[in-house]
Amino acid sequence: MSTGPVTPDGEVFATERDPRLRLIIPAVVAVAFLMEQLDSTIITTAIPEMARSLDTTPLRMNLAMTTYVLTLAVFIPVSGWFADRFGARRIFALSLLIFTVSSAFCGLAENLPMLLVMRVMQGLGGAMMTPVGRLILLRSFPRSQLVTAMTYMTLPAIVGPVIGPLLGGFLTHYLSWRWIFYVNLPFGALGIAMALRYVGDIYGDAATRFDFPGFLMVGTGVALLQFGIENIGRPTIPVPMIGAVVLLAVLLLLWFGRYARRVAAPAVDLTLFRLRSFWVGTLAGGVCRIGMNGVPFVLPLMLQVGFGLSPIESGSLTFVMALGALLVRPVSKHMLRLFGFDRVLFWSAVFGAAVTAGFALIGPDTPHWIIIIHVVVFGLARASQFMTSNTLSYADMPSAQLSRATSLGGVLQQLSVSFGVSVGAMLLGVVTWDGSPLTPQRFHEVFLLMAVIPLLSLPGFLRLRPEDGMEVSRHRGRALRG
């Protein structure tokens, strides 16, 4: 028996029993995360072709995206309870099966209603897949190796939205829109086999009763909020109705906040926010991510609409954003060890804001190699912020609360992605409120406005102390000097 680090229950961590699992488990979970992230964006470039094939309009095809995202938002909060009750391996494999089978039926869809039903099923699988996969990683690695584990987990979330539209356009152009769903089949089958073979069946507190009233409040509130956010940028209902939907969502979530104080085990554990590293990583980090998540949406529009580039040219330039994420991974542990979570998060937010504002200096005549360098640097800043804030969120979390923390963190991460896209779309609408065309100057104004958002997270990052997340970062210098 290994004498490596053990869990709070006295068990040796899976990755200490078998060092091969240090690569295998993150790889299995990362593939699942990438599938889920790709399906949030991959159909964007295929919508016109899908609308023609299914005999509907591109506007109605927007429902194929909305239903998927709404289902994710509704069911993520209960994923932790299912993992505790039935075992993380079992739920993870089942979620992969649901996602893979529904992907096949999405590709076989003959009309829009069938596609929407299958997208709901995909969303159900994705909602369980992401937080339960995160839980498996957190419970398979000792805290000292958490940075490595969270890096593998965060990379797909950064890369997926970047390559999704490019991959969707490629498959639609050269094969068929149906292949944007069929491509999930071999990865899903491999993921299921690997999960059943290598992932331990981790259980939590199975005696906790399921909070159905709380789930209804949170699920409905989050779904309405997500629906309202989606409509800010791409309205499918009148503006007064959007305001009413968002107001109702806020009221439901506030109602749940009062309800949760009177319940022993609410659907979402709001007491998690008492832990400074969690609320800073999820809330302050979420605000910072909103500003940066708008760039992958606005930048391709500027390149195509503002500069007149083709979709393939635009996709080739924005795709290199993923290189920044790959460059950050080898140095993230060293940065945290040298500077600690507090300084890395603060300065990566400042750097991210500066690079976001830098897109305002790019014009139609800017050489493509300069654009590529700037996009890579932005990807580096974005990945640094995302990986560090995600790792901090769970760095000091007690093991008994990990399942609830991953569920709540998953909801907030999903909302930060949606907010980022919607804020970008909303700002584009604001700068063209008088009906003026989307010129490069208008896009420059939007990038400058978006650059302000990461700066709003700085007061939260200043609340951190040098010792926060120290077990993970191994940063000792200032704490010892203090």
Mean pLDDT, range 87-115, rounded to an integer: 90
Examine the domain organization and report whether 119 and 225 are in the same domain: no
Residue 3 confidence (pLDDT) = 39
Q: Is the pLDDT of residue 330 over 60?
A: yes
What pTM was estimated for this model as a whole?
0.74
| Nearest CA among 173, 167, 56, 155 for reference residue 113 | 56
Q: What is the pLDDT at residue 449?
A: 94
pLDDT at site 445: 92
Taking a C-beta distance cutoff of 8 angstroms, is the pair 407, 78 a contact?
yes
CATH code for the domain of 373: 1.20.1250.20
In this predicted structure, what is the pLDDT of residue 310?
75
Q: Which of 39-53, 220-234, 259-273, 365-379 shows the lowest per-residue confidence on average (mean pLDDT)?
A: 39-53
124/42 same-domain check: yes
Q: Residue 12 pairs with which residues in a beta bridge?
A: 6
Q: Work out the widest C-alpha separation in the chain, in whole angstroms.
A: 71
Regarding whether 108 and 6 lie in a shared domain, the answer is: yes
**Per-residue pLDDT averaged across 186-198, rounded?**
86
The answer on 220 and 317 residing in a single domain is: no
Domain count, the chain: 3
Considering the domain architecture, whether residues 136 and 246 belong to the same structural domain is answered as no
User: Are 224 and 205 within one domain?
Assistant: no
pLDDT at position 476 is 65
Residues with Cβ within 8 Å of 6's Cβ and at least 6 positions away in sequence, in order, are 12, 13
Residue 447 has pLDDT above 90, yes or no: yes
In the prediction, which pLDDT does 204 show?
61
Q: What is the mean pLDDT of residues 32-47?
A: 71
Closest CA to 361 of 454, 447, 432: 447
**Given a cut of 70, is residue 379 above it in pLDDT?**
yes
User: pLDDT band for position 206 (50/70/90)?
Assistant: low
Q: Do 300 and 399 have their domain in common? A: yes
Among the ranges given (5-14, 243-252, 288-297, 408-417), the one the predictor scored with the smallest mean pLDDT = 5-14
Lowest-confidence region among 175-179, 395-399, 457-461: 395-399
- CA within 13 Å, CB half, 196: 10
Among 221, 239, 266, residue at a domain's last position: 266
- The lowest-confidence range among 130-134, 186-190, 215-219 is 130-134
Mean pLDDT over 27-46 rounds to 74
Cα distances from 330 to residues 151, 159, 322, 382, in angstroms, run: 9, 16, 14, 15
pLDDT recorded at residue 162? 64
- Same domain, yes or no, for 98 and 186? yes
How far apart are alpha carbons 354 and 374 in whole angstroms?
A: 11
pLDDT, tens digit, 9 for 90 and up, residues 123-153: 888 888 877 887 787 777 776 676 666 666 6
The number of C-alpha atoms within 13 Å of 157 and in the hemisphere containing its C-beta is: 27
Q: Which amino acid is at 367?
A: P
User: Is the same domain home to 228 and 363?
Assistant: no
* pLDDT band at residue 481 using 50, 70 and 90 as cut-offs: very low
In this predicted structure, the answer to whether residue 448 has a pLDDT above a threshold of 90 is yes
Look at residues 210, 226, 249 and tell me which one is the last residue of a structural domain: 210
Most confident of 135-139, 274-278, 300-304: 274-278
Distance, CA of 425 to chain centre: 18
Confidence of residue 387 (pLDDT cuts 50, 70, 90): confident
Which pLDDT score is estimated for 361?
Answer: 94
Does 12 have pLDDT greater than 70? no
- Given a cut of 80, whether residue 261 has pLDDT beyond it is yes
Tell me the residue range of the domain where 95 lies. Answer: 1-210
| 243 and 362, same domain (yes or no) | no
Domain match, 251 and 277 both: no
CA 141 vs. chain centroid, Å, equals: 21
**For the chain, what's the residue count?**
482
Mean pLDDT of 193-206: 74
Residues 378/321, Cβ–Cβ less than 8 Å: yes
Q: What rounded mean pLDDT belongs to the chain?
A: 80
The verdict on 203 and 235 lying in the same domain is no
For the residues 5-33, what does the mean pLDDT come to?
A: 67
Q: DSSP letter string over 313-377?
A: HHHHHHHTHHHHHHHHHHHHHHHHHHHHHHHHHHHHHHHHHHHHHHGGG--TTS-HHHHHHHHHH
Q: With 50 as the cut, is the pLDDT of residue 2 above it?
A: no
* For residue 390, pLDDT beyond 50: yes
pLDDT at position 10 over 50? no
Task: Give the pLDDT confidence score for residue 479 in this predicted structure.
Answer: 47
Confidence at residue 8, expressed as pLDDT on a 0 to 100 scale:
44
Over range 305-315, report the average pLDDT: 78
Q: Which of 39-48, 127-136, 187-196 tops mean pLDDT?
A: 187-196
Confidence of residue 338 (pLDDT cuts 50, 70, 90): confident
Supply the angle between the helices 368-395 and 321-358 in degrees, to the nearest 10. Answer: 100
